[in-house]
Copies of this chain bind each other. A is one copy, B any other.
Amino acid sequence: MIISKTCGYGIRGVVYLATKLEEDRKVGIHEIATELEIPQHFLAKILQELVRKKVIHSVKGPHGGFYVKELVLGMPVLDIVEMIDGDGYKTRCFMAIEECSSENPCPLHRDFFVFRSGIVKMLKQKTIGELSKGVFEGQSFLSYRLN
């Protein structure tokens, strides 16, 4: 639905780390996965990829873990979506027509286009910082267990 589960997990992981920014510590994968109720090894993989992409950072060894730098707060959520799911969302047709486009539209192309660009615009505006702020202030949640 819109984005992959993997991608949703990734965003939640990053936002979780962002809420811990002030604590100035490394967060272990066990804690993150437990708190977010995401399979630990699977989340580890996703976070590793985001480390490679420099969205988040990690330190090995005792007292190691994952963390984010202040800079990430300004990152649009869309960036993470593209890193994990690619940019297929830009062209993918509602009706699964490979060549569907504005010049060659499926019967739902125009109607659907409006919503899709709205979603993309929204994801481009929303930053990790905004999401983590909402969570920090208790207006939204990253998992059921965290409220």
Given contacts A106-B141, A106-B142, contact A1 B119 (CB under 8 A): no
Report A146 CB to chain B, min CB distance, Å.
10
Q: A residues engaging B (CB < 8 A)?
A: 1-3, 5, 8-9, 11-12, 15, 37, 77, 88-89, 92-99, 104-109, 111-112, 115, 118-119, 122, 126, 130-132, 134-135, 139-144, 147
| Complex: chain B residue closest to A122, CB-CB | B111
State the oligomeric state as a number of copies.
2
Contacts of A104 in B (CB 8 A): 141, 144, 147
Tell me the complex Cα distance, A140–B109, Å.
8
What separation, in Å, do the CA atoms of A106 and B16 have in the docked complex? 12
